[in-house]
């Protein structure tokens, strides 16, 4: 398979470190000159541009957190005048101010470049037809993939999310070879296809570039079997650029992170201690070359492990694991820490459970409870009660043995759990209500 940017994607570790250091020094100088926000922060921390002499000096720099973006709503984080801003995106902002992010023209070029790399790492070439079913608009998924597909020279169908019947018709008629959407939407589309009497395994799709929400390897297997395609993970977040921060290759050995432009660190989210190779921690990213809104040591809240060393695909870019959870979506149930994706992983190993589930957390008489609602196949519902009871018990026991957590299991009929065209809502927490 051709490597798009071999000089960077296969660079030696010394080469990468010296590139990162040079860019980091330039970044701190740039921020000292251009960003009012960072001028204040750097002054508080007592670090000047000249103090960054080696890469390990990175840890002397201050963290940036989401609240900084909210507090400086709407444009307080910008490091360039408005006339240089080319594009502005914002989160949906269900609570309080939305998070605003902005790009100069050069930032859009950077976004196009990293997204072209991502599609290429997934196996995409100019011969592919990319059906882009991420939402277009203020969400960064749609436009990010779009720019990358253009940069790579592929053909892009900007269909956006939703309109499932039309998705399936155009996919078939156009011969789309790559689908880009959330994993939950890929699953839902396969379900709809079957209902329309169309076998998704016969679709022209070869690869799915799926992300924007957590998903387990077991869900990957479901999606791959449903579509008879390779399903690969893509990671990113609006604050850093959007999609295009890290991308899994067909060897499925972690996601290659574009560390020439997004400098990663993994730390213990509580103590701040740097994690060892292979140890999980919070991913922190410094954007090395952005103009409009560069971020120093941004706390993504996403929990990963990182590994270095050459991948079977030939790339030397470090690899992060699939996102194991978020610092803020970890459920603490009666003192036990669980991430929704761990429950997903267990559920999908039990025969009869379908990959549609929701977790309902509540506090009853001072005690946390977790109800796992999961759909089971139609055939099971017409079966004897005894069999359903057996399945329920099996799921309960499996979760208990893997996570040491006692939960209530509720089996529900097909299509009871709401389907999602974008990010799925897996957890309903009634404790704060």
The DSSP letter of residue 139 is: S
Three-state secondary structure call for residue 378: helix
Measured from the CB atom, the residue of 55 and 138 that comes closer to ligand DLL is: 138
Measured from the CB atom, the residue of 103 and 134 that comes closer to ligand DLL is: 134
Quickly count helices (H) and strands (E) in the chain. 12, 21
The reply on whether position 140 binds ligand DLL by CB under 6 A is yes
Candidates 347, 315, 341; CA nearest to 411 is 347
Q: Kindly write out the interface string for residues 314-333 of this chain, putting x where it contacts ligand DLL by CB under 6 A and - elsewhere.
A: ---------x--x-------
| Of positions 242, 269, 318, 355, contacts ligand DLL by CB under 6 A | 242
- Return all residues near 406 (Cβ < 8 A) that are at least 6 apart: 396, 400
Measured from the CB atom, the residue of 392 and 426 that comes closer to ligand DLL is: 426
Q: Rounded to the nearest 10 degrees, what angle do helices 13-34 and 36-45 cross at?
A: 110
| Of positions 124, 208, 214, 264, contacts ligand DLL by CB under 6 A | 214
Measured from the CB atom, the residue of 123 and 242 that comes closer to ligand DLL is: 242
| Of positions 29, 84, 213, 224, contacts ligand DLL by CB under 6 A | 213
The reply on whether position 235 binds ligand DLL by CB under 6 A is yes
Q: Shortest gap between Cβ of 261 and ligand DLL (angstroms)?
A: 16
The reply on whether position 405 binds ligand DLL by CB under 6 A is no
- For residue 100, what are the β-bridge partners? 90
| Of positions 160, 176, 184, 238, contacts ligand DLL by CB under 6 A | 238
CA angle 16, 18, 20 (to 5 degrees): 70
The reply on whether position 211 binds ligand DLL by CB under 6 A is yes
Measured from the CB atom, the residue of 52 and 179 that comes closer to ligand DLL is: 179
Q: Rounded to the nearest 10 degrees, what angle do helices 217-227 and 183-195 cross at?
A: 30
317-354 in b/e form (b: 16+ CB < 10 A) is bbbbbbbbbbeebebebeeeebbbbbbbbbbbebebbb
Q: Kindly write out the interface string for residues 289-308 of this chain, putting x where it contacts ligand DLL by CB under 6 A and - elsewhere.
A: -----------x-x------
Binding residues for ligand DLL, rule: CB under 6 A, are: 134, 140-141, 211-214, 233-238, 242-243, 300, 302, 323, 326
């Amino acid at each position: 398979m051709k490597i798009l940017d071999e000089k960077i994607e296969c660079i030696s570790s010394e080469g990468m470190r010296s590139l990162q250091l040079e860019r980091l020094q330039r970044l701190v100088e740039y921020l000292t000159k251009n960003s009012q926000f960072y001028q204040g922060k750097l002054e508080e921390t007592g670090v000047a541009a000249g103090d960054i002499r080696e890469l390990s000096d990175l840890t002397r720099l201050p963290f940036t957190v989401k609240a900084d973006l909210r507090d400086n709503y709407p444009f307080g984080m910008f490091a360039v005048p408005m006339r240089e801003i080319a594009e502005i995106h914002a989160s949906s902002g269900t609570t309080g101010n939305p998070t605003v992010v902005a790009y100069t023209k050069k930032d859009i070029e950077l976004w196009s470049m990293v997204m072209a790399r991502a599609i290429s790492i997934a196996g995409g070439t100019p011969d592919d037809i990319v059906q882009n079913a991420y939402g277009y608009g203020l969400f960064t998924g749609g436009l990010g993939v779009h720019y990358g597909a253009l940069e790579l020279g592929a053909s892009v169908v900007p269909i956006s999310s939703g309109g499932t019947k039309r998705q399936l018709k155009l996919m078939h008629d156009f011969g789309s070879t790559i689908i880009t959407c959330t994993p939950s939407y890929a699953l839902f589309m396969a379900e709809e296809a079957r209902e329309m009497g169309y076998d998704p395994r016969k679709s022209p799709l070869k690869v799915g570039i799926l992300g924007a929400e957590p998903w387990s390897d077991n869900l990957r297997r479901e999606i791959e079997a449903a579509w008879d395609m390779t399903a690969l993970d893509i990671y990113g977040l609006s604050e850093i650029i959007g999609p295009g921060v890290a991308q899994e290759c067909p060897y499925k050995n972690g996601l290659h992170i574009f560390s020439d432009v997004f400098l990663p660190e993994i730390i213990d989210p509580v103590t701040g201690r740097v994690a060892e190779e292979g140890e999980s921690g919070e991913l922190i990213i410094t954007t090395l070359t952005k103009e409009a809104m560069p971020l120093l040591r941004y706390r993504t809240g996403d929990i990963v492990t990182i590994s270095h060393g050459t991948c079977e695909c030939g790339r030397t870019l470090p690899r992060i694991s699939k996102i194991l959870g978020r610092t803020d979506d970890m459920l603490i149930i009666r003192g036990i820490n669980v991430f929704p994706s761990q429950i997903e992983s267990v559920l999908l190993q039990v025969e009869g459970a379908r990959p549609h589930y929701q977790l309902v957390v509540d506090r009853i008489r001072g005690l946390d409870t977790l109800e796992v609602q999961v759909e089971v196949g139609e055939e099971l519902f017409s079966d004897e009660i005894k069999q359903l009871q057996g399945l329920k018990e099996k799921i309960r026991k499996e979760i208990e043995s893997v996570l040491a957590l006692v939960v209530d299991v509720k089996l529900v009929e097909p299509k009871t759990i709401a389907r999602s065209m974008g990010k799925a809502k897996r957890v309903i927490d009634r404790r704060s209500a």
